[in-house]
Structure 1
Amino acid sequence: MPRLLVALSSHGYGHAAQTAPVVNALRARRADVALTLATRLPYDFLAARFAGPFRYLPMDTDVGMVMGSAIDVKVRESLAAYRSFHRDWSGRVDEAAAAVERDRADAVLANVPYAMLEGAARAGVPAVAMCSLNWADVFAHYAKRAGAGDQAEVRTIHAEIRTAYRAAEAFLRLTPGMPMPDLPRARTIGPVARLGRCDPAGLRARLGLEANVPVVMIAPGGIELRLPVEGWPRASAHYVVPASWGVHRPGFTAFESLGLPFVDVLASSDGVVGKPGYGTFAEAACNGVPIVYVRRGDWPEEPALIGWMAKNARSAEIGRDALRHGAFGDEMERLRSLPAPRPPAPTGVDEAVRALLRLLDIR
């Protein structure tokens, strides 16, 4: 029985959202693949995304970024977290290598923890990375912004991250994704997204709505962004929001109360409100759902995501004040009135599955 160890960044839900369609497709083709998920993401979230049994290994093998909200990076705190993580870099890699060996993994997939890639190399186990970003370039971007790019310690950390990514047999760079000129083994593949069951009538029936009432999903991503919806004006749309917001007013329903998969609700909605994150953008585009979004402003992956959405989906930017005050209804209606482009196909799923089959040396 081949065993695959999948390491996931715990920075929001996007890394797991990118990976689950690929791993599920792999196991649909080869049901004998045993799975371990190495991450500190919540078990219940993983169980809802990954089909079939898996071993849960709560550990971090990267840093990500320290977030003040779903759209704001705490730069100083992030750099401090990297310094702490890399203080004993060899020890970190030893921990990752020991985890690979204890798991008896035949291959490693990382989205996109770099210490696990270096650990797999140290353990003699083949590994690939897959993501729309890499932490080497994200770290370098924010270090430069903080005026720390030329510090010797920062240069050392950046070199350690970059070397770890180069230890992978390949880096599957998802479309859309940031350019990765420093990773010679980067190979661009198509989008990765789930396709949902589009049933607008069924969704409205669950919500008790008339056929002419638009349903708009608020999808802030895995990092909390609680909006002050109690002060929003009455709208013609009905909003689906996270249950954790605790909203109790007409016109709002908690997503979890619907008893439907996230992607089915998204595919059946008339629009989505979110931020430029790979999972929300790719799933909105591939399911043909219009989206309004608020820029993060300085997230280095953002230009690639926004540029791709402009060509492949009905999308529009709104300001932070418009989001905070719920003043985006007219823009959403404008998008809904536009001709819908042909949704891009999530071809990256099959491309990544083929790469993993080669890595596991099975067909």
Structure 2
Amino acid sequence: MRRFRTGSEEPRIAYFISPHGFGHAARAASVMAALYELEPSVRFEIFTQVPDWFFQDSLSSVFNYHPLLTDLGLVQKTPLVEDIPETVRRLNALLPFDRSQIERLARQVRELKCALIVCDIAPMGILVAQEAGIPSVLVENFTWDWIYQGYLHEEVRLRPHIAYLQEVFEAADYRVQTEPVCCYRTADLVTPPVSRKARTPAKQIRGRLGIPASAKVVMITMGGIPEQYTFLDRLEGLKDLYFVIPGPSASWQVRNRLILLPHRSDFYHPDLVQACDVILGKLGYSTVAEVYHAGVPFGYVLRERFRESAVLAAYVKEHLQSFALTEAEFQSASWLSRLPDLLALPRIPREGPNGADQVADFLYRLLTT
């Protein structure tokens, strides 16, 4: 029987995940799912404030959930607008991390017999790994020090937090970067986009939604941060299109050809992406990765102040059928006049690997050496 780094027959990995939206959790879940396919005995200890249901819906593997503020990221007013003064106020309260908390968490992961600590992109996990004497793996396409540098011109109080976080991120034992990468560093692995994989055929998803197989379907998604849409009445009156929108409703609602879903619904987000003809939404990592692997045309909303946005936009322009929208264009629904052009575009077939499998293979080799 195979023995792993800790001598256990059931390897355990602690996963520290940023709670900024659902994108980091989605990437982490895709890696955990791929690693479970490689090694079904693997167990995960998940440390985050992302709701536990997100992992219940994304994973088949056994995991334990530990609610913990592992990271701050940015405070958001809306999915597209950051609150930098409030971000600074909360960073001042959080950083540097409390030493006694790091020591307590280090004892906890040792008692749990974790062989690795993986961080996406929560820096706390790197310090816990150092204290526990366990290897740390940073999985990222950006780090928060790089993001905060984009706001220094308006908020100089970010400077000490940038310096502190740079030091913490550089201390990771292994670094994995996932395309689209914002700032290339010396890395142990660079992968294509990492996304959760669709599970259910598109025809079956459409059937469950009550959408004919031949109909044109547009999904609007703003990720894991709630959004108030001002144009729903206009969509409800359209006769030639179906719209699916996860997030704006507490329950499943059907209003003519407008289908509103709660954040947690009976539908797996990658399945919805696969079942639609066009995706409209925020330019965020997990959405880009899922749309990339589905090959679906993408109308994306730029976040002009968020530094990652330009990198994601350049990648989308190169690899996807797409067009860009400003926040004002999105909220006014002026994009409705452009939808026919986007709907006429073909999907792009993907034959290359999902980066999740490559990251999982890397982690598996660390567990077994």
Give your verdict on TM over 0.5.
Answer: yes
User: Is structure 2 residue 174 aligned with structure 1 residue 167?
Assistant: no
**Contact preservation (8 Å) 1:132, 1:177:** yes
Residue matched to 2:207: 205
| Letter matched to residue 153 of structure 2 | R
Paired with 2:199 and 2:336, the residues of 1 have a C-alpha distance of 25
- Residues 332 and 345 of structure 1: is their aligned pair in 2 closer, same or farther, counting only changes over 3 Å? farther
Task: Letter of the 1:228 partner, please give it.
Answer: T
Secondary structure of 2:167 counterpart: helix
Q: Do the aligned partners of 1:195 and 1:287 also contact (CA within 8 Å) in 2?
A: no
Task: State how far apart, in whole Å, the 2-side matches of 1:115 and 1:198 are.
Answer: 36
Tell me, in whole angstroms, the C-alpha distance in 1 between the residues paired with 2:316 and 2:247: 28
Residues 319 and 302 of structure 1: is their aligned pair in 2 closer, same or farther, counting only changes over 3 Å?
closer
Superposition pairs of residues 259-274 of structure 1, within 5 angstroms: 259-274=266-281
98, 101, 105: which one aligns with 2:110: 101
> Once the two structures are superposed, what CA deviation does each residue of 1:36-70 show, in whole Å capped at 9, x if it has no partner?
11011111111101222210111122211100011
| Structure 2 residue identity aligned to 1:166 | E
- CA gap of 1:186–1:114, structure 2 versus 1, over 3 A, is farther
2:224 aligns with: 222
**Distance of 1:95 and 1:78 partners within structure 2:** 26
What SS does structure 2 have at the residue aligned with 1:145? Answer: coil
Q: Pick one of 64, 89, 92 that aligns with 1:55.
A: 64
C-alpha contact 1:22 1:353 (8 A) present in aligned 2 = yes
User: Which runs of 5 or more structure 1 residues have no equivalent in the other structure?
Assistant: none
> Does structure 1 residue 22 correspond to structure 2 residue 31?
yes
* Distance change in 2, residues 1:332/1:87 (3 Å): same
Distance 1:51 1:255 in 2: 23
Distance across 1 between alignment mates of 2:91 and 2:305? 19
Which residue of structure 1 lines up, in the alignment, with residue 5 of structure 2?
none
> Which of 310, 313, 316 is equivalent to 1:306?
313
Tell me which amino acid in the other structure corresponds to 2:122.
Answer: P
User: Is the counterpart of residue 4 in structure 1 residue 6 in structure 2?
Assistant: no
CA shift for structure 1 position 331: 2.0
Instruction: Say whether the 8 Å CA contact 1:18–1:131 is kept in structure 2.
Output: no
Tell me which of 249, 253, 261 is aligned to 1:245.
249
1:167-186 equivalences in 2 (<5 Å): 167-181=171-185, 184-185=186-187
Unaligned runs of at least 5 residues, structure 2: 1-9
TM-score computed with the length of structure 1 as normaliser: 0.90
Aligned to 1:297: 304
Partner of 1:31: 40
1:67 aligned onto 2:73: no
What percentage of residue pairs aligned between the two structures are identical? Answer: 24
Deviation, 1:258, is 7.5
| C-alpha distance in structure 2 between counterparts of 1:33 and 1:198, whole Å | 24
* Contact 1:217–1:269 under 8 Å retained in 2: yes
> Helix, strand or coil: the match of 1:332?
helix
1:146 to 146, 154, 157: 154
The one-letter amino acid paired with 2:284 is: G
* Native 8 Å contact 1:230 1:249 kept in 2: no
Supply the distance in 1 between the matched residues of 2:214 and 2:333 (Cα, whole angstroms).
Answer: 20
Alpha-carbon distance between aligned partners in 2 of 1:200 and 1:96, rounded to the nearest angstrom: 43
Q: TM-score, normalised by structure 2?
A: 0.88
- CA 332–99 in structure 1, closer or farther in 2 if over 3 Å, else same: farther
Q: Which moved further from structure 2: 318-327 or 64-73?
A: 318-327
Instruction: Name 1:360's counterpart in structure 2.
Output: 367
Structure 2 residue 155 is matched with structure 1 residue 131? no
SS of equivalent to 1:106: strand
> Which residue pairs with 2:88 in the alignment?
79
